[in-house]
Amino acid sequence: MYLDKIKEARNTIKDVVIKTPIMYSDIFSKETNNKVYMKCENLQLTGAYKLRGALNKLRSLTEEQKSKGVVCSSAGNHAQGVAYAATLEGVKSKIVMPKTTPLIKIQSTKNFGGEVVLHGNVYDDAYAEARRIEEEDGLYFLHPFNDIDVILGQGTLALEIIEEIDDIDVIVCPIGGGGLISGIALAAKELKPSIKVIGVQAEGANAMELSFKKGSLISLDTVSTIADGIAVKVPGDLTYEFIKNYVDDIVTVSDADIAESFILLTEKHKLLAEASGVASLAALKKLNLENKKIVSIISGGNIDMVTISALINSGLVSRGRLFCFSVELPDTPGQLLEISRILTSVRANVVQLEHNQFKAIDRLKNVLLEVTVETNGHSHIEMIKNELSKNGYVINHVY
């Protein structure tokens, strides 16, 4: 029913949209005992899959609609897709994004020709402002996910996957409002009904997962996750219907899961993706599947340097690559040297050290030492803790 329309959408956007690569992941395959492939939409022209739907929608508008200009709301990636597509088509665009949007997404949207308006703290605040602007300025509103032309555009991604790997068992896809997974599921289930389509949401922004499991549309009062691209309080009613009928399951992942997958992707594949972009990789351990051929969609790569740093640190801690502890020591000569000797004996590399008398409980006699060391995993951390304990030190595990 929808497959022909998705193929039409591909023809509509093929002169602009890149057919992004599908890469086999040895590391994620080993970690999950499956054959894992990554569909790298982080390498798309605007850094995310959103260009597909935005361009398909824009090219479906009448000349009269285009002449009025367009407005959209976005957490960042739809913004860039709309700005790029609108400029390409000679259409003025006004883009409303939350004030918390990473600077790289704001600046990229401006660079692509969009007029940026910052409003509210989450996507849903920006959405309300965009609808107000639509009424006030008479612009055409381009919904980021709850629109059939947008959904059909996103579905072109599934055509590329299945045409390249025809024996896929599972496609794993991040969910914010649900546009991407709706398009993926519509295409996949018609091309090959045996393919399982599984969605992923952040634990702190799981409105669609709750809706899917309850059987009715649920909205959240608040969202909290590092994956800003999928932090949606109110999912789409159109996308919910598609997900309810065509998606097999939805799982959730923690921010720590996301950070850990970010580290693996960056370190082992030399690829950068945003937090929402690696959610599909973070979900692999939640699927309880073995010996399956799985494609995880890396949905976007628009990430700023500050967030990269935060994700790296969080991921290193999660994988046992950084260990921070504190210990109270007698304020006498040689104590710091003894701690250094123990850490050297277990090959722990000190990356940060704070020696502070004013933080100790007994400030007159003791000093508090806080040490951060580079480690080789959780077993190495246990070895360090045991060695310190064996030498009479009582430590506090900070992180």
- Quote the radius of gyration of the chain (alpha carbons, Å): 24
Between the CA of residue 64 and those of 55, 106, 140, what are the distances in Å?
17, 28, 10
| Whole-angstrom distance, CA of residue 12 vs CA of residue 30 | 39
- Burial track 173-201 (b if 16+ CB lie within 10 A, e otherwise): bbbbbbbbbbbbbbbbbbbeeebbbbbbb
Indicate the DSSP class of residue 114: P
| Whole-angstrom distance, CA of residue 173 vs CA of residue 199 | 5
Give the β-pairing of 140-141 and 70-73: parallel
Count, residues in the chain? 399
| Whole-angstrom distance, CA of residue 332 vs CA of residue 289 | 56
Q: Which residues pair with 396 in a beta bridge?
A: 326
How far is C-alpha 298 from the chain's CA centre? 8
**379, 263, 254, 268: which is closest to 320 by C-alpha?**
379
Report DSSP letters for 134-198, one per residue: HHHH-PEE--SSS-HHHHHHHHHHHHHHHHH-TT--EEEEE-SSSHHHHHHHHHHHHH-TT-EEE
Tokens of 271: 């690829």
Grouping H, G, I as helix, E, B as strand and the rest as coil, residue 272 is coil
| Whole-angstrom distance, CA of residue 172 vs CA of residue 267 | 22
Cβ(49)–Cβ(78) below 8 Å: no
Residue in the block written with tokens 């990269």: 308
Active site residues: 50, 299
Report DSSP letters for 311-363, one per residue: HHHHHHHHTTSEEEEEEEEESSTTHHHHHHHHHHHTTPEEEEEEEEGGGSSST
Cβ(24)–Cβ(165) below 8 Å: no
